[in-house]
Structure 1
Amino acid sequence: MCSGCDEPISGPSYRCTSCNFFLHKKCTELPQEIKRCLHPQHPLHLLAKPPAHHTGKWMCDLCNKTCKSFVYRCSFCNFYLDIKCALPPCLSEVEGQEHQFICLPKSLPLKIVSFTCNACGTDGDDSPFVCTMCQLIVHKTCISFPRSIKLRIHQHPRIIHTYHLQQCNSRNKYCGICRDGVDTNYGVYYCQDCDFVAHVNCGIQYRLSNTESDGDERSITMNDEFKESSFDIVREIKHGDERIIAEIKHFSHQHNLILIDEFNNDPKCDGCMLPIFTPFYSCTECNFFLDKACIGLPRKKYWQYDRHPLILILNTWEEDPFQCAICEQYCHGFSYNCDRCHSFLDVRCFKSTKDSIEHGGHEHPLYLAVESENRHCSGCGVSGESQTFRCVVCDFNLDFKCATLPDKARHRYDEHPLFLTYIDPNDYQYVCQICEKERDPKLWFYRCEECDFDAHRECVLGKNPFIKLGGSYTVDIHPHPLALVEKTDDYPACHTCGEPCDDLALECTHYKCNFIIHYKREKRAML
């Protein structure tokens, strides 16, 4: 018999060569100290025999049986648990394991004192229920709460309840609904795919207030979303043990795209409209480029704020720019489109619509606010009622425009890439070297460290950084084709209203014609 647990030994074991003392391998690896829900005030320490001052029987305070082997003891309260009661089989929460809850025996002192529910983490003063196998103490109402729930604010189909968040390797310590801290010693709803955490009561209350019919349940899982690829492989090359996709046929373009690692100008990706860096895919027949990130975007996606599937489409420079439903900027390029809701999401914002992000501009994780609030953005200094990422530790907020700014950009005034910079290293020069106006040193800007070159974000990227200029538009009031332009010099007068064209405009492409009008989405619809 094992001297640790008083159970028969079969298989390899440890023994003392001087006396009749045997131990299972698992009993030699018992932790020296544990914390248990039945006695949350103090830790319990492993003892091999009763302390010298102990008199009478050595009894387990849960099962009331005499202890014949190792026990865990609280030296402050003389509270004992034998090995079976201290380390039950369902403590590890094996998938599908059902807890066996009963009302706590009247003989235990916890019957008449307040307790903290291990299921929801809130206090209670009613008669608690305990799992006979693992000593979890819960409210009576928490016994029947759902094992998993679906939340519209969360991107994955389900989040699962766990009693032991500390065993899930979670780095998130804040509720994704109320943004307050969570105690990892108690139960929460948790998503292991994206480290989303929610208080039990927050999750259930939000779920009840946003109830959907069974017909709205998602019909695909997150893995299913990636089955429909956006491209077909035309040619691969082998480089050592690595296979490189050298040529593809992408749904968004009529010609094949070739992987290249050099360029002669500063192209933009036609998918995300961001400055493109090598390697990327290029069309050899026309001016079309896609970076590697946009190549892999799935054709169909679900978004936690829309019950319908979103389809990836391309808005070219020949079409009107769309307005992103999140950042409210006008864009060309890829968007996820909902035909039923008539909404568009640019791919930069869509990739950022996670419950939490880590951004180089701040030291703490940032959490997507559940509701839109009028908050001051720490990146650009602008206040608005759009959705923001918030830091729950300090007063730091980030709107989607700043959260999706490119890390690197290019400008003709500097031969090197410019990097988005969050803290101004200078204590003497707060001037934009493009427009030669003052900069606010507290706001983000672009910088070339090698040239000591600093510039406003707007001066580097432009007022409309995600619109592809050019194209060919036709309107009833003018006989020649018009091109989409962004006027930065001379500001000619609009043909229809007479005001200066200092932003997006439609300009005649005929070299002898000076026709120009403001570009406004409402006006384009009327034309």
Structure 2
Amino acid sequence: MESIKHFSHIHPLQLKEDHQNDVEQVFCSGCEKPISGPVFCCNQCNYVLHKSCAELPNKKKHPFHPEHHLTLLSTPPYEGICICDACRGIFNKFVYHCSLCKFDLDIACASQWNPDDGHKHAFISLWNPTSPFVCYACGEKASEILSCVCSICQIWVHSSCADYWDTTTKKDEVDTESDQSQDIDFSLFCHEHLLRFVEEQSLQNVDDKIKLCDGCIQPIITSSPFFSCSENCGFVLHQSCAELPKTKKHPFHIHHLSLLPKAPPYDGVFRCDGCRGLSNGFVYRCDECQFDLDVCCGSLKDTIEHESHNHPLHLEKTGAPRICKGCHLQSNHVYVCHVCEDFAIDCGCATLPNKAWHVFGKHPLKLTCFAGTDLRGNECGICSEKMSLEQWFYFCDDCDFAAHTHCVVGKCWRVKFGGTFKYDTHSHPLALVEETRKNTACEACDEQCNGLALECGQCKSYYHREGKCFWEQFKESAKYFAFSGTMLRYRYAANVFAATPNVTTKGETKHRK
């Protein structure tokens, strides 16, 4: 006969498969419910426990109190009666208790939830746009921004609750229902329409354009989950970009940076203070200092391994400008080698893709950091200018095709073109485009639009989105005059001015600050 020593009683308890007492009804000394079925009982006194009560874990994590583990006690730690914090019932036997919070659950409430019987769908870790919210698992108010959501059940829970409540053990059930999650819409901070979660993108047709994430302005690949606008307005977002921290401390700046879906300058186009490139995606920003980083520079790792160097590289803001080994421009925001004092690469070169496609090439081009002697005298296959042995370039071995890095990725490789924006200086919405045709003249100044331009689909007209022409147009806008005070106008205007590519300070082409 099985015998156990239980913490709640001084005598050994013997297992009986079917306890019967014809004289009077017997109640469990743990849950205070009538005895039925197998029990553990004491042969020396009248102490009896349901087998299930005798096998209760001494500690357990429960969604009703996710902050701490609950400890099983044989009696409440208070004088008199004890009130369950879940059902508000009165009891005086077994209790799951938190000594830090004075939180108590009776056995019935504590046993209603079991990790093995928890939520059957996978949770997704996301920013909750409705924060603060009430956690569906524990019922407590939650203020954390990054929380977990079930796209099938449309419920939000603490990240800590999801760890104990997510039991996707039935793989077939999860796989079957995961397709349904594509029809669930979410509201996120970064977009005006509801977004649809897509776990896997169907293969694109040959004629389909590559989708660019509106957060990082990088391609959406088929194997990674993402969000797509339910109104089909073209907005797409990597799941990883939806989970970006809302604030962060960065080595490039002394203050904390806040994540914004668009930069303040007028239409969201800004110049990143890290790589000095243009972007119109999410921005990590310090309003006090007018400091902006795009998502790629804002998410740089503190230390990296790069094929251009055999030592680890460390992200720093240097006091004196350093010459980048990739492009030979100067920058204060660089990766440096603590072993080799003369090696540094700037943010732009550090984030260049290892492989890239170009319309002139038949094969993917590989980023090359070390030139061979056979490159000497070669011309860039795109701009026809001479290639330098001292600068990185893209190369195809099969075609013997070489090109400058800036010719392959373009000067606006972190700008997402398309969409429309209502400018005060024109009666129709204008779309941001990259104009390269030689016969396209700006309606405002009658000079050629070459680069960033604004296109009116109704008037079939174009306007500069860069340079002094755009600046003169902006000064006439209502948005500029909406700011009270000369200093506020100056600070805001200076930020717009900095976002115009062909408005540069003297020597900027040689020195990136």
TM-score (norm: length of structure 2): 0.50
Structure-1 separation of matches of 2:282 and 2:242: 11
> Alpha-carbon deviations, 1:286-322, whole Å to 9, x = none?
2233335424322332334556543322229993312
Please say if residues 453 and 462 of structure 2, whose CA atoms lie closer than 8 Å, have aligned partners that are also in contact: no
Give the superposition deviation at 1:336.
1.8
- 2:250 aligned partner, one-letter code: W
- 2:436 aligned partner, one-letter code: T
Residue 337 of structure 2 is aligned to residue 391 of structure 1: yes
Report matched runs for 1:248-267 at 5 Å: 249=186, 250-253=188-191, 254-261=194-201, 262-264=203-205, 265-267=209-211
Aligned to 1:346: 294
Partner-residue secondary structure (3-state), 2:335:
strand
> Alpha-carbon deviations, 1:394-426, whole Å to 9, x = none?
322111111222333333334554332222357
Structure-1 separation of matches of 2:220 and 2:364: 11
- 2:357 aligned partner, one-letter code: R
Picking from 433, 436, 444, the partner of 1:496 is: 444
Partner-residue secondary structure (3-state), 2:298:
helix
Please say if residues 440 and 462 of structure 2, whose CA atoms lie closer than 8 Å, have aligned partners that are also in contact: no
Aligned to 1:45: none
Partner-residue secondary structure (3-state), 1:374:
strand
Aligned to 2:131: none
Evaluate the alpha carbon distance shift between residue 227 and residue 404 of structure 1 in structure 2; reply closer, same or farther with a 3 A threshold: farther
Please say if residues 230 and 296 of structure 1, whose CA atoms lie closer than 8 Å, have aligned partners that are also in contact: no
Percent identity over the alignment is 36
Give the superposition deviation at 1:484.
1.5
> Alpha-carbon deviations, 1:364-412, whole Å to 9, x = none?
122334434232211112234x322222333221111112223333333
Partner-residue secondary structure (3-state), 2:422:
strand
Structure-2 separation of matches of 1:360 and 1:292: 28
Evaluate the alpha carbon distance shift between residue 470 and residue 452 of structure 1 in structure 2; reply closer, same or farther with a 3 A threshold: same
Residue 283 of structure 2 is aligned to residue 283 of structure 1: no
Report matched runs for 1:231-270 at 5 Å: 232-235=149-152, 249=186, 250-253=188-191, 254-261=194-201, 262-264=203-205, 265-270=209-214
Structure-1 separation of matches of 2:316 and 2:245: 26
Please say if residues 285 and 292 of structure 2, whose CA atoms lie closer than 8 Å, have aligned partners that are also in contact: yes
Please say if residues 445 and 455 of structure 1, whose CA atoms lie closer than 8 Å, have aligned partners that are also in contact: yes
Give the superposition deviation at 1:523.
4.3
Structure-1 separation of matches of 2:147 and 2:353: 23
Please say if residues 311 and 336 of structure 1, whose CA atoms lie closer than 8 Å, have aligned partners that are also in contact: yes
Evaluate the alpha carbon distance shift between residue 443 and residue 278 of structure 1 in structure 2; reply closer, same or farther with a 3 A threshold: farther
Please say if residues 372 and 387 of structure 1, whose CA atoms lie closer than 8 Å, have aligned partners that are also in contact: no
Report matched runs for 1:106-255 at 5 Å: 228-229=145-146, 232-235=149-152, 249=186, 250-253=188-191, 254-255=194-195
Residue 279 of structure 2 is aligned to residue 331 of structure 1: yes
Aligned to 1:463: 411
- 2:199 aligned partner, one-letter code: L
Structure-2 separation of matches of 1:405 and 1:360: 12
Q: How many residues align?
A: 299
TM-score (norm: length of structure 1): 0.49
Partner-residue secondary structure (3-state), 2:198:
strand
Aligned to 1:376: 323
Give the superposition deviation at 1:266.
2.0
Partner-residue secondary structure (3-state), 2:261:
strand
Please say if residues 251 and 315 of structure 2, whose CA atoms lie closer than 8 Å, have aligned partners that are also in contact: no
Report matched runs for 1:89-100 at 5 Å: none
Structure-1 separation of matches of 2:343 and 2:308: 10
Instruction: Give RMSD over aligned pairs.
Output: 3.6
Please say if residues 306 and 313 of structure 2, whose CA atoms lie closer than 8 Å, have aligned partners that are also in contact: yes
Give the superposition deviation at 1:349.
0.8
- 1:413 aligned partner, one-letter code: F
**Structure 1 residues not aligned, in runs of 5+:** 1-225
Structure-2 separation of matches of 1:230 and 1:498: 52
Residue 220 of structure 2 is aligned to residue 303 of structure 1: no
Partner-residue secondary structure (3-state), 1:320:
coil
Evaluate the alpha carbon distance shift between residue 282 and residue 255 of structure 1 in structure 2; reply closer, same or farther with a 3 A threshold: closer
Report matched runs for 1:503-522 at 5 Å: 503-510=451-458, 513-520=460-467, 522=471
Please say if residues 441 and 462 of structure 2, whose CA atoms lie closer than 8 Å, have aligned partners that are also in contact: no
**Structure 2 residues not aligned, in runs of 5+:** 1-142, 154-167, 478-513
Partner-residue secondary structure (3-state), 1:479:
coil
> Alpha-carbon deviations, 1:150-185, whole Å to 9, x = none?
xxxxxxxxxxxxxxxxxxxxxxxxxxxxxxxxxxxx
